[in-house]
A = this chain, B = another copy of it.
């Protein structure tokens, strides 16, 4: 019996690191802790009664329950793919059911895209910072990752042009209410990105995980929608999920893309886990069909209170020298502290003073940097907790930065 398995592991298994976010879970149980760390949606807004009623319907009808409990098609439950076809066509651009594969959440969608496109050393381009789960999924296939800075001024388009010119299998972006910054790409940046993608013939993976969490202002057109009217029709691989609009626990997401790519992804799905749970796909389909029309407004109201409380508390309590984003959707605010502050290094001191958890921003940077940044999620807290938590966080950051300034 071997104690150490390392010498048997693949390169990817040796390289993989558990998420910094999940490592914080052990502190969550302490009394009085307020966490801005997790990225889970607020369970108070899960449509649980509708899910219960739907599950009961499916599991009481002989034919339907037989289908729900048996193996299913690798491409997904056809009525769900047809529903998504209708939704995507209405919101973005014409998408047929044969241009959609159902995945077990959008995390699996990203992993499948890595698996389908990436040999070791292949180049991809991502924004900097970017979604940590995408980095984890793509990194399983050992790509070379070029990152393009994004800031309140937008994407660095010169760097993007240069990165795409060197060749890349795809460009990965989250254009709306991005994880981790909460920011959205401007209309100018969207059009510029499409031009560059068309010029270099690079497909864009558009991750729309948060698209149903618009809080205020106008929804901007997705890259999928804009690409339809672009003269060169750049290739968009659209990734979505019901995790934020309905619930994460049923693990239902999707990829919408050109039919030949979907056909390849179906073979990848079959080799990877045969098919996503039929019961879950049926529940999601039946619930979404009934409630999706009014869903965005329900969520906007819920998350607007949280976001406003966050932005108000940041304005009221944060010391000078700390900047933050002002998202119009999603569940994240991104803080930038003065250069030289290392939010990973001070995390435990802040926690001891404030009993507040955040995610240090460095882990969202594939090529280093971002040590002075923080991701805050307001999704799981009510406005009173947010006000109290941000006040405690601000006080602790002020104290720690003052201590360090004295000792420096």
Contact = CB atoms under 8 A, between A and B. Distances in A.
A339 interface: no
A74 B266 CA distance: 24
Contact of A249 (B13, B51, B71, B261): B71
A40 B70 contact: yes
Contacts of A103: 273
A289 interface: no
B104 A248 contact: no
A266 B272 CA distance: 16
Contacts of A67: 249
Contact of A66 (B13, B22, B46): B46
Of A70, A201, A258, most buried by chain B (CB within 10 Å of CB) is: A70
Nearest to A139: B271
A119 B11 contact: yes
Specify how many copies of this chain sit in the oligomer. Answer: 2
A133 B115 CA distance: 17
A99 to B, nearest CB: 12
A151 interface: no
Given A51-B59, A116-B13, A273 B250 contact: no
B274 A74 contact: no
A357 interface: no
A266 B277 CA distance: 20
Interface in A266-280: 266-268, 270-280
A118 interface: yes
Contact of A48 (B2, B69, B141): B69
A136 interface: yes
A278 B43 CA distance: 14
Contact of A10 (B59, B117, B280): B117
Contacts of A266: 18
A391 interface: no
A285 interface: no
B16 A271 contact: yes
Given A22-B74, A119-B10, A203-B8, A271 B2 contact: no
A280 B278 CA distance: 11
Interface in A237-278: 243, 247-251, 258, 260-261, 264, 266-268, 270-278
A273 B251 contact: yes
A248 B43 contact: no
Nearest to A111: B272
A175 interface: no
Interface string A75-106: 00000000000000000000000000001110
A117 B279 contact: no
A267 B18 contact: yes
A4 interface: yes
A29 interface: no
A211 interface: no
A5 B327 CA distance: 36
A60 B50 CA distance: 11
A264 B22 contact: no
Contacts of A406: none
16 contacts: A10-B115, A10-B141, A12-B119, A40-B70, A51-B59, A52-B56, A68-B249, A70-B247, A104-B273, A104-B277, A105-B274, A107-B272, A136-B270, A140-B272, A251-B275, A251-B276
* 3 shortest interchain CB distances as A-B pairs: A52-B59, A69-B249, A136-B271
Given A2-B201, A9-B116, 6 more contacts: A16-B267, A18-B267, A48-B66, A52-B55, A115-B140, A140-B268
